[in-house]
Amino acid sequence: MSLNSVLTPLRTLDGVPGGSKKRLLEFFSKFISQQIPTLESTEVFDKLIARERLGSTGIGEGIAVPHCRISNCTESVGTFIRLKDKIDFDAIDGKPVDMLFVLLVPEEATDEHLQLLSSLAEKFSDPDFCRTLRTAPNSDELYQLWMG
């Protein structure tokens, strides 16, 4: 399972207003339930918040990877979000976040979940890739970078 199979142009967002971690996760939950009607926005939000309570998914260097397992999810779903303004995400390095990759996986997809998280960690550990994401002019370019 590759990141290319979970991200779509419609789920590559640029200039999203942040506000707060909670507000951003609410925004994403509503957004994804409009994209995929089988996903209930309150369940998505509740699961993402529950995961954040276990420990922040802010991995450092301005990046967060909120993720969870969802019962009505039939395939893994990813959304890349570049924020208009940085927000506090309780990241491990204390830095505010400006880029997120939100990942939802089917309840039973343990191996797939770990593979996707590993792929994301590998991509985000490349400073050149992150710099390019931050300077891309629009969501189309952002999507192309992920597909590259």
Q: What are phi and psi of 80, to 5 degrees?
A: -100, 130
The answer to whether 49 and 80 are in contact (CB under 8 A) is: no
CA dist 14 and 41 (Å) reads: 21
Question: Known catalytic residues?
Answer: 67
CA dist 67 and 77 (Å) reads: 10
The DSSP result for 51-97, as a single string, is: HHHHS--EEETTEE--EEEETT-SS-EEEEEEEEEEE----TT-PPE
